[in-house]
Amino acid sequence: MISTIVRRRCFTGIRALSYTPQKLNSDLPQSILKLSQQANSQLENAAVNKVQNGLLKSGLLDRNTFTEKEATLSPRMAAASTPLMGVEAGRTVAVGRDGNPRTAFRKLQSMTTSLGIRQKFYADQFYLKPSKKKLQRRIKNKKIRFMGAFRNLLSKVKDARRRGY
């Protein structure tokens, strides 16, 4: 079984190759197989072209010496040569056995949310004076401590109500 890796390229949207299936033949499994093979070949061609352009731009490959044999790079080489950008760059999620990319994107989104990557990304875009950064860190720590104590107080109130006070 081929494992697929989903990488989200940009924060605002997903760049993906989509296709509209033509009218299915009477032989349903054969026509579905043919459509999936066409889609896979389109994706492979797009990936090879992207890798070829990336290698040519980076200077690793000369345009005159490029052949079709070199166009079929290994997945590892193709992944290494494609640039990653955006908030979720470098975070990869494996697509499960069902092959549903929507689930993989949901996993990726929950992972980046739990790690606070979006907040870190925006915080790193601007320069803060050291005193302002220290003040913000102090405010953040006090807020975390306050919310923890408040949650503890609410749990005590719930427990007291449950006991009948």
The pLDDT of residue 72 is: 66
- Segments in 59-129 forming alpha helices (H): 68-71, 75-81, 101-115, 117-123
Q: What is the DSSP letter of 103?
A: H
State what percent of residues in the chain have pLDDT above 70: 50
The strand pairing partners of 108, in sequence order, are none
Residues 77 and 17 in one domain: yes
Amino acid identity, residue 31? S
Residues 132 and 115 in one domain: no
φ and ψ of 106, to 5 deg = -65, -40
pTM over 0.85: no
Residues 106 and 150 in one domain: no
Residues 14 and 42 in one domain: yes
Structural tokens at position 34: 């043919």
The pLDDT of residue 29 is: 60
Residues 97 and 70 in one domain: yes
The pLDDT of residue 96 is: 77
Residues 22 and 43 in one domain: yes
Residues 89 and 154 in one domain: no
Residues 138 and 94 in one domain: no
Residues 103 and 55 in one domain: yes
Residues 82 and 139 in one domain: no
* Count of structural domains, the chain: 2
The DSSP string of 124-165 is TTS---HHHHHHHHHHHHHHHHHHHHHHHHHHHHHHHHHHT-
Profile the chain (165 residues) by mean pLDDT over runs of 10 residues.
Answer: 45 41 51 66 67 58 50 70 65 78 86 87 89 95 97 96 92
Residues 117 and 156 in one domain: no
Residues 11 and 84 in one domain: yes
143: containing domain? 127-163
Distance CA 66, CA 57 (A): 13
